[in-house]
Amino acid sequence: MGPFPTEDGYVIELPYGTRSDWLKNVVASGSAAIVHDGGAFEVDRPEILPIAEAVPYLPAHEVRRAHRFGVDQCLRLRRRGGRGPNRDPYP
């Protein structure tokens, strides 16, 4: 489980469903910061989606694991300001 980059943000598998406190906090605030590959990235517009919509962004072993453990949802977040996945939003 990690944040997996998409063309405009990240997807995160939700193995514990939608009742975890961290997820409730992100959805309630509408934004968060993700640390990925040594950088911190501001994200917003949280959206809970079926895992099937995240499959193009997940490594094959993560897709197999999700199916094996019945993970059927993910969280999609978009980078603020259209920054690329390799740019640090905190200069």
Instruction: For the chain, 91 residues long, give each residue's pLDDT as a single digit of tens.
Output: 689 999 999 999 999 999 999 999 999 999 999 988 888 999 999 999 999 999 999 999 999 999 999 999 999 999 997 555 444 333 3
Q: What are phi and psi of 48, to 5 degrees?
A: -90, 125
The CA–CA distances, whole Å, from 13 to 57, 68, 89 equal 11, 13, 24
Cα dihedral 30, 12, 68, 49 sign: positive
Q: Which of 36, 44, 47, 31 is nearest to 85 (CA)?
A: 36
Sequence spans of domains, the chain? 4-81
- What pLDDT was estimated at residue 89? 39
- What pLDDT was estimated at residue 48? 97
- What pLDDT was estimated at residue 71? 96
- The Cα–Cα gap between 13 and 16 comes to 9
